[in-house]
Structure 1
Amino acid sequence: MLMSLTCDAEVNAAMSLKLQIWPLSQLPGVSHEQVVQLQTLGLNTTEDLLAQTRAPHELQGIAKKLQIPLRYPKKWVILAELSQLPSIGCQYCGLLLHSGISSISQLAIAAPGRLYNQLRRLHTATLRRSDLCPTPDQVVCWVQEAKQFLRSR
């Protein structure tokens, strides 16, 4: 998804934020085999996953049914939550997770400038290309959308 220079959260501040729903196959780091396993549990989208993992015992149940370590379902839920924000989606949720952001609440209190610098360092170290890193304006937008999401709850 291409970003406009103006953050949709800023422009549409009075409107409710339209959360994104993604097929689980679009989440970074979820293998085809894992997607198939999740589908056998009736979990096809990020919305399904979030609805079925509201309590810790539900996460443990998924891990047990799939016979996988609990860290995988935990990671998927974090990615699913972050990907709900329109300006993040599946494109940047993994980058945010690897930079230490593990919830929309945590993103909402992040200092955009500091987060951008952290993302840029991570992106450059990982991909060796800073030109593919999100822009400072995008990071500001993410934080604004996270705040808007929390206000609308």
Structure 2
Amino acid sequence: MGASQQSGRRSLRSSDWEIGQLPGLSDSDRDHLVKLGITTTLGLLRQTRSIAQQQALAARLQIHPQHVYKWVALADLARVPMVGCQYCGLLLHAGIVSPAQLAQTPLPRLHQQLLKLQVATLQRQDLCPTLDVVAQWIQQARSLVALEPHL
């Protein structure tokens, strides 16, 4: 799957990704989620809207709830089309846990956090998304939060 964005007025919509594309998800965890009918990132979000639902999923998978909390945060960030599964992990490691938080984060501060993270972990600042790309993430997050606050 990929980003599904278009409707009548070109309004932005949440992207939905195959669950196996979520970073940090083991093959075993992916297979267990699929057996439970959770095949996409939006499917995961729909079945884990509350902390109680997240804890129940962790119990069914026999894993620590912290893993499910992380997957939910990654899936939520992946709703932003330009972030997707490619950059949701980077944002989470930079301290951004939701599109709502991304929408409120000042661009210069976020870009600086991402740059520091890339240099600290990979010793490569050239892999950091550009200021323009990060600005587009923030704009898309603002649009999503305005249009789909319930997810």
With normalisation by structure 2, the TM-score equals 0.90
* Identity of matched residues, %: 46
Look up the SS of the partner of 2:13 in the other structure: coil
Q: 1:118 aligns with which of 106, 113, 121?
A: 113
Asked if the contact 2:13/2:144 (under 8 Å) is kept, the reply is no
Alignment partners' CA distance in 2, 1:42 and 1:151: 29
Whole-Å separation in 1 of the counterparts to 2:63 and 2:78: 23
1:127 to 114, 122, 143: 122
Deviation, 1:39, is: 1.1
4+ residue runs over 4 A deviation = none
Structure 2 counterpart of 1:102: 97
State whether structure 2 residue 35 is matched by structure 1 residue 40: yes
> Which residue pairs with 2:131 in the alignment?
136
Aligned-partner Cα distance in 2 for 1:38–1:97: 21
Q: Which has the higher contact order (CA 8 A, sep 6+)?
A: 1
Task: Find the aligned partners of 2:28 and 2:75 in 1 and give their Cα distance.
Answer: 18
CA deviations over 1:70-126 (Å, ceiling 9, x no partner): 000100011001111111011100000000000111001000111000000001111
Partner of 2:55: 60
